Each structure stands twice: as C-alpha cells, then as structure tokens.
Amino acid sequence: MPRTVTSRKPRPGSQARIDSILAAARTLLVQDGVAGLSVYAVAELAQIPPSSVYHFFPSVPSLLEGLTADIHAAFRACLEAPIDSSALYNWHDLSRLVEQRMLSLYNEDAAARQLILAQHGLSEVTQADRRHDIELGALMRDVFARHFVLPQLPDDVDVFTLAMELGDRVYARSVQLHGEITPRLAEEGMRVFDAYLGLYLPPYMAKRAPAV
C-alpha cells in the first residue's frame, strides 16, 4: 500500500485519493520525466482540485518522496514473497532469485527506473531512497537468515544494503546509456551483487530446515 509523508494511516477515502494522486504522478513521471511533474499537472490528470493534492503532498519533492515509498513497498513485497527452499542449493541461488525479482520490478515499472536509477539530482528523493534501502537491506538479511546459517557480519557496514546499492549502480549505468536495463548489464549487476556478498559470505553455508 502506498505510503504518504504523514505518519498516521489515512482513512479509506483519503487513501483512495492518495492512490489516484500517485497514479497520476507516476504517469506524468514516465511521460515527461521529473521536470514535467507539477502539482497542477497531477491534479488535472487525477481530475481533482490542486488543493486536494497539496493537502497530502504540499510540494513536488514530497510527491516524489511518496512515489519513492510506493515503489519501495513493491520491492519489500517481492522480498517477502514465498521462496521454495528446496530449490536453493546454495546462497548464490537465493542471491540470483532476489536480484531477478528486483530486476523484474525495474523492467515492469518505468517510474521506478526514473526515480531510483535515472540522474535527476533531487536530494530529497535520493535521501528517501537511501532510507528505504536500509530497510530493504535489513529485510534481505532476514530472508537470507531464514534459509541459511549466516556467519557473523560486521556491525559498522550494512552488507546487504551496500550489495543492493552496488548492483543498482550498474543498472543505473545501463539506464543512462540505453534507456533501459539491458540483459548484458542486468547480468553484470547481479554479478556485482553476488560478488560483494561473497566478500562476507563463505562459499558454503548450512541450510536451515524449512519452517513447518
């Protein structure tokens, strides 16, 4: 479910309005990029008064932060989706599965590529993305720990967050050069993710028994 800049959970009617605002913003972002996004354009496309947009998102940066949270909610959902433990022979299988799920989201969601991988220079979006990356990194560590016995990892480095961000740098390079994540650079991004984790995870880790 999309998240807003407020901490309280919106009422059902308000959430429907928020959803329509974010859907309109997503459409405009894909069509015209960040530069073409404005509160009035969003209001016009969503067919609501501009004051309604301002009520939930008082500025374009807050609107983009809302979209970033919405996109990261989809990434969290893909990490939380069921995984068949019997298909995992080692942690590299899990690494590839996780990255393939994230790549699928990037490939299916042009707005995610625009906000997270494209060069837009918006510090508010970059900071929001980093905050959400930390949450995703912690969730990813939990996923790995659910299937394998992890070694002691450093406390001063978020290993899984950094691995994910390094892979994203390769995907971002592909978007900047080609406007998309090409199969070749998708493979390179997965290799970077896997290689960085390999600095901290041994070649073999014991599997955990499937949860009953």
Which of the four CATH numbers 2.30.30.830, 2.170.190.11, 1.10.10.60, 3.20.20.70 does domain 12-62 have?
1.10.10.60
What residues does each domain of the chain span?
A: 12-62, 71-197
Residue 15: what pLDDT? 86
| Per-residue pLDDT, 209 | 83
Provide the pLDDT for residue 124. Answer: 73
Which pLDDT score is estimated for 93? 97
Token readout for 66 is: 């809302």
Q: Give the pair of three-digit tokens for residue 184.
A: 């070749």
The pLDDT assigned to 5 comes to 42
pLDDT at position 211, please? 67
pLDDT tens track, the chain, 212 positions: 344 444 455 665 688 899 999 999 999 988 888 878 899 999 999 999 999 999 999 988 889 888 888 889 999 999 999 999 999 999 999 999 999 999 999 999 998 898 888 766 667 777 878 888 999 999 999 999 999 999 999 999 999 999 999 999 999 999 999 989 999 999 999 999 999 999 999 999 999 987 66
pLDDT of residue 10: 61
Contact 72, 79 (CB under 8 A): no
Q: What is the pTM of this model?
A: 0.84
